[in-house]
Copies of this chain bind each other. A is one copy, B any other.
Amino acid sequence: MTSSSPPAAATRRSRGRPAVPLDRILATALQLVDEEGAEALSMRTLAQRLESGTATLYRHFGNRATLVTHVIDRVFGEVDLDAAALADLTWDQACRTVAQAMFETLGRHRRIAPLLIEQTPTGPNAMLLRERCLAVLLGAGFPPEFAARAYATLARYVLGFAIQLTGSGDTGERARALFQDVPPDRFPATLAVAGSLPVPLAEEFAFGLDLIVEGLRAAAPVG
């Protein structure tokens, strides 16, 4: 490893001033959220993982909120969307595809949802994703106002669901246990559905998504 030290290339760690590349900060931050949850993303903890100090982070970000903005946009950048492929779909297929892609990405970073509600995503990747969605809806012939509302509904549905994902994963299990132990005389309906609750989250999401798209088709001003 450290056999023949090179002239001036290495500077292993925090020697001169390795400048802590922004990309490494964001990758580490996202990894931190993935592994330990959104609440673990503190300036101190992040600085520790980078083997740096908190003040160094403030050179890149004015405050924690803008750090969060960048981390969120990194996640949006992972949403698997091919503009060309989208163009070949009908508008309802495209809506389902985009929402599913967003859901899958949030599934890969389950613990990031609390950060998403801290702020409206305005990073470059988020802006691009929104642009593509709106382009599909406008391309289908929907008036701007209808397209805007349709997009908002879908976005809120995905986010609302993503929040449900946040729970440590056994959310469904815990809820089911709780609902099955409910007093039968006072909560007959709750008890009746308690048994059919451990539906896989992915299926549950698809169910609601179909509902919304079906409603969109029925309400759409175009055939």
Which A residues are closer than 8 A to B by beta carbons? 113-114, 117, 120, 122, 127, 130-132, 134-135, 137-138, 144-145, 147-149, 151-153, 156-157, 159-161, 163-164, 166-167, 171, 174-175, 178, 182, 186-190, 192-193, 195-197, 199, 204, 207-208, 210-216, 218-219
Q: Which residues of B contact A197 (CB under 8 A)?
A: 148
- Nearest residue (CB) in B for A213 is B215
- Nearest 3 Cβ contacts at the A-B interface: A160-B160, A211-B215, A215-B215
Taken together as a complex, chains A and B put the C-alpha atoms of A155 and B166 apart, in Å, by 16
Contact A193 B159 (CB under 8 A): no
Return the chain B residue nearest A150 by Cβ. Answer: B211
Among the listed B157, B182, B193, B214, which residue makes an inter-chain contact with A157, where contact means beta carbons less than 8 Å apart?
A: B157
Query: Are A192 and B131 CB-contacts (below 8 A) given A153-B207, A215-B218?
Result: no
Inter-chain CA distance A166–B161, complex, in Å, is 17
Q: Is A199's CB under 8 angstroms from B160's CB?
A: no
CB nearest neighbor in B for A153: B208
State the Cβ distance, A140 to closest chain B Cβ, in Å: 11
The answer on a CB contact under 8 Å between A144 and B208 is no
User: How many copies of this chain sit in the oligomeric assembly?
Assistant: 2
Q: Which of A117, A137, A188, A197: most chain B Cβ within 10 A?
A: A117
**Do the beta carbons of A120 and B163 come within 8 Å of each other?**
no
* Contacts A117-B113, A159-B160; A127 near B190 (Cβ below 8 A): yes
> Can you list 23 pairs linking A and B with CB atoms under 8 Å apart?
A120-B174, A120-B175, A132-B189, A134-B193, A138-B189, A138-B192, A138-B193, A145-B193, A145-B196, A147-B189, A148-B199, A149-B207, A152-B204, A152-B208, A153-B207, A153-B208, A156-B157, A156-B160, A157-B208, A160-B161, A160-B163, A163-B163, A215-B215
